Amino acid sequence: MVDVQGTVADGFEPVRDAFAENFARRGERGAAVAVYREGRKIVDLWGGVRDADGDAGGVAEPWERGTAQIVRSATKGVAAAVLLLLHQRGQVDLDAPVGTYWPEFKAAGKERVLVRHLLSHRAGLPALDVPLTPAQAIDGVTGPAAVAAQAPAWEPGTAHGYHAQTYSWLLGELVERITGRSLGRWVAQEIAGPLGLDLWIGLPEEETARAGRIADIEPPAVTAPSAGLRVRPKQAVTDAYADPESLTRRAFAAISPAADENDPAYRAAELPASAGIATADALARFYASLIGDVDGVRRLFAPATLTLARTEESAGPDKVLVVNTRFGLGYMLHGPASPLLAPGSFGHPGRGGSLAFADPESSLSFAYVTNGMQKNVTADPRAQALVRATARALS
């Protein structure tokens, strides 16, 4: 039995039970979960091991308070906040063409791609004609140049499809063109610093040097995604991913071969689509700050910005994920493919497990991170067990 560490507020014991059950029944390896309500932390749990070799004959290193983890696409929710906050401050027009800020982007029929299209996965740029190597993906130059030269896969604004990898270079370059700062630096200075978050898009060298600070990620044994199985049969998604010519496969293989996510160089890279590193507490606290004040720090999203984040921009068949998905401006919305807490919730999962979101109506934020990747994209059974337990505790 895994020794679950941490605390829960009275009434939230079901979350501890579900967390322990994830280790006993759902193949959990190392993980943490945190929940805030009205700016106060009410769940803070962790357990398991943080290294990738612990149960393969090596000495298992325990997950500790403060262990951080790569959260894959849950990073997108943090990146989206940057564009929305720049809009809130009057520095970017969401309805302006991307080329207004990034002239080179106008190439190959993209003159009418709007900033809001990038956030809502409607730009038509989920895949590259020529995938990038891991080294090219993180060099800060090749990725932006590739998406600027890429022709759209569909007429921008007319449909949506998940921009699994290209989101990194689209948002990252746009933020740098607007602010003169990299997206990771902007997050560090404007969000993580003021809120005291152990959250990075681009892990600093000093954090890399701290032994045991970052949990190793273990890829799933089966790589075919299983997003939205409540909506479409598993075979439909699996077949699309297996077909090397499909948009699904090409989108996820925009970096090929796949990068080593435990490589210090990858962890240090600023990839806002997939390489953020955070503790569960930091992600939950981040989402808490979008909807309310936290420890004297004024809420980040004004009411109008919060409305933008969770107002449906894209819905229906996703050209990449195959299943029906729903997006606001940068955030996945509650639905069968990505169940959150309630209809008004908004957030983002990470492929293989992680999940973070906020629910303004209940003044609650939630985050779960794991290093034991499983084969899902959006609806991880461990995360969903914790969400259901949180809902029971609220009822």
The β-bridge relationship of strands 40-48 and 5-8 is antiparallel
pLDDT (0 to 100) of residue 58: 55
pLDDT (0 to 100) of residue 231: 38
Q: Which of 233, 201, 238, 244 is nearest to 222 (CA)?
A: 238
CATH of the domain at 191: 3.40.710.10
Q: Tokens 């699996």 label which residue?
A: 238
* Residues 352, 154: Cα–Cα separation, whole Å: 28
* Residues 34, 283: Cα–Cα separation, whole Å: 8
pLDDT tens, N- to C-terminus, the chain (395 residues) = 788 999 999 999 999 999 999 999 999 999 999 999 999 999 999 999 998 665 444 567 899 999 999 999 999 999 999 999 999 999 999 999 999 999 999 999 999 999 999 999 999 999 999 999 999 999 999 999 999 999 999 999 999 999 999 999 999 999 999 999 999 999 999 999 999 999 999 999 888 777 668 999 887 654 333 343 343 445 567 788 888 899 999 999 999 999 999 999 999 999 999 999 999 999 999 999 999 999 999 999 999 999 999 999 999 999 999 999 999 999 999 998 889 999 999 999 998 899 999 999 999 999 999 998 887 767 899 999 999 999 999 99
pLDDT (0 to 100) of residue 244: 87
**Catalytic member of 73, 168, 289, 354:** 73
pLDDT (0 to 100) of residue 185: 98
pLDDT (0 to 100) of residue 227: 40
CA atoms within 13 A on the CB side of 348: 30
Residue 374's SS3 state is coil
Which helix (H) or strand (E) element contains residue 195? helix 193-195
Under 8 Å CB-to-CB from 253, ≥6 apart: which residues? 127, 131
Q: Could you give phi then psi for residue 331, rounded to 5 degrees?
A: -125, 140
* Residues 254, 263: Cα–Cα separation, whole Å: 18
Q: Which of 73, 46, 57 is nearest to 351 (CA)?
A: 73
Total residue length of the chain: 395
Tokens of 91: 């520095």
Domain count, the chain: 1
* Residues 165, 70: Cα–Cα separation, whole Å: 15
pLDDT above 90: percentage of residues in the chain: 83
Is position 182 annotated as part of the catalytic site? no
- Structure confidence by residue, pLDDT tens digits, 127-153: 999 999 999 999 999 999 999 999 999
Report whether 254 contacts 127 (CB < 8 A): yes
Report whether 348 contacts 73 (CB < 8 A): yes
How many angstroms separate the Cα of 32 from the Cα of each of 46, 200, 252? Answer: 4, 17, 26
Q: What is the pTM of this model?
A: 0.94
Question: Residue 357: which domain range?
Answer: 5-394
* Residues 359, 372: Cα–Cα separation, whole Å: 26
DSSP string across 86-108:
HHHTTS--TTSBGGGT-GGGGTT
* Residues 156, 159: Cα–Cα separation, whole Å: 7
